[in-house]
Amino acid sequence: MNASATLFRCVLDVKASLGECPLWSVAEQALYWVDINAPSLNRFDPATGRNTAMPMPESIGCFAFRRGGGFVVALRDGMWLARPDGTLETKIAAAPYDPAHHRYNDGRCDPRGRFFAGSMNEARDAASAALMRLDADFTLTRVFGDLTISNGLAFSPDGRTMYHADTPTRSVNAYDFDVVTGTPSNRRPFAQWSGETDRPDGGAVDSEGCYWSAFYRGAKVVRISPAGRTLAEYPVPAMCPTMCAFGGPDLTTLYVTTARQMREPDELARLPQSGGLFAMAVTVPGLPEPLFAG
């Protein structure tokens, strides 16, 4: 099960506070990602090794590429449209929570281009967060609630299964997904862990339908079969990997963002590239990321 011989390498030693939401642009052959705390939207060009940071006015939880160019971004105060250079254009949906203690976290588009984004309770003292859906006409709909830290959102290759994690529960659930309406149903357990550091954060699905999960505080990424069986574990030289994305010309490079916020000095001395962007070659390619239809 272990794959310790296969290691992630640091391709951008950026020391991000809370790197998250890596998305590969097929059109640009570049990886975009966010630092929630900086806060910024970033563009990493693997051909040159250059990273360009586009500052945001407040915490940015996640984003998606738009079909017409630019981005939709989930900021603390709500959803915005942004230009290709990251400049905010229009606020399209207010935050459905009190931004004093909640913010957007993990999210991505479904196969039809609807943008899903979940929130998190920063105090972690109540299941008061929710998963939201932004349709192409900018209607914002609550999908389900009773969450603490919404995470791990991903879809099967045929779009008929949705995966989602609430990190403190140490579990990932699967749902039947209606691609026409954008509605999940029939919630069921997909994978469950019990270890203190088994905290599933962001996820991604490869072309074989296997689910990849980054374990925050677990220093690893795991690959799980469609049946929910752990197939392999890959160590990451950072204690807090946050989310995976497939990139490269043939989508066989697995990128993972990491965090260094609130880590002890001795840990950072041992794992100095914490907060960096890591990459690893894989044999099974990923899938192109859907674009926001709005």
Asked if residue 204 belongs to a domain, the reply is yes
Q: Is residue 292 part of a domain?
A: no
pLDDT digits (tens, 9 = 90+) for 190-200: 999 999 999 99
pLDDT at residue 231, rounded to an integer: 97
What residues contact 53, with CB distance under 8 A and at least 6 apart? 35, 38, 40, 41, 42
Q: What percent of the chain has pLDDT over 70?
A: 98
Given this model, what pLDDT does residue 1 score?
43
Nearest-CA neighbor of 179 among 156, 201, 196, 210? Answer: 156
- As given in the structure block, the two tokens for residue 63 are 């984003």
- pLDDT tens-digit map of 42-60: 999 999 999 999 999 999 9
Q: Can the peptide bond before residue 241 be classed as cis, meaning omega within 30 degrees of 0?
A: no
Q: Looking up tokens 């699905």, which residue turns up?
A: 205
Distance, CA of 208 to CA of 217 (rounded, Å) = 27
Q: Is the pLDDT reported for residue 216 higher than 60?
A: yes
Q: DSSP for 52-67, please give it.
A: EEEE-SS-EEEEEEBT
As a whole number of angstroms, the distance between CA 38 and CA 58 comes to: 8
pLDDT at 23 over 80: yes
d(CA 125, CA 112): 35
- CA 277 to CA 247: how far, in whole Å? 13
Tally of domains in the chain? 1
Cα separation of 25 and 37, whole Å? 23
The C-alpha atoms of residue 124 and residue 193 are separated, in whole angstroms, by 19
- Structural domain of 152: 9-281
Instruction: Please name which of 113, 127, 138 lies closest in space to residue 168, comparing C-alpha atoms.
Output: 127
Determine which one of 106, 166, 198, 201 is catalytic.
201
DSSP three-state, residue 269: helix
In a domain, 289, yes or no: no
- pLDDT for residue 2 is more than 50: no
Q: Output the pTM of the full model.
A: 0.96
pLDDT score at 230? 97
Peptide bond into 39 cis (omega under 30): yes
Cα R_g (the chain), whole angstroms: 17
Judge whether 38 lies within some domain. Answer: yes
Please list, residue by residue across 54-83, b when 16 or more beta carbons sit within 10 angstroms of its beta carbon and e when fewer do.
Answer: bebeebbbbbbbbeeebbbbbbbebbbbbe
Q: Is 201 a catalytic residue?
A: yes
Whether 293 is in a domain gets the answer no
| 48 within a domain of the structure (yes/no) | yes
- DSSP class of residue 236? -
Mean pLDDT in the chain? 96
Compute the average pLDDT of residues 231-246.
Answer: 97
Q: What is the pLDDT of residue 6?
A: 56
Q: Residue 280: is its pLDDT beyond 90? A: yes
- Among candidates 117, 197, 180, which has minimal Cα distance to 152? 117
Hey, is 268 helix, strand or coil?
helix
Spatial neighbors of 277 by CB under 8 A, at least 6 apart, are 10, 11, 12, 14, 16, 19, 22, 31, 33, 44, 255, 256, 257, 258
Q: For residue range 249-272, list pLDDT tens digits in order.
A: 999 999 999 999 999 999 999 999
Closest CA to 73 of 61, 58, 84, 85: 61
Give tens-digit pLDDT for 107-149.
999 999 999 999 999 999 999 999 999 999 999 999 999 999 9
Checking if the pLDDT of 4 tops 60, the result is no
Does pLDDT of 201 surpass 60?
yes
Provide the CATH number for the domain around residue 239. 2.120.10.30
241-264 burial: b if 16+ Cβ within 10 Å, else e: bbbbbbbbeebbbbbbbbbbeebe
Residue 140 lies in a domain: yes
Residue 29 lies in a domain: yes
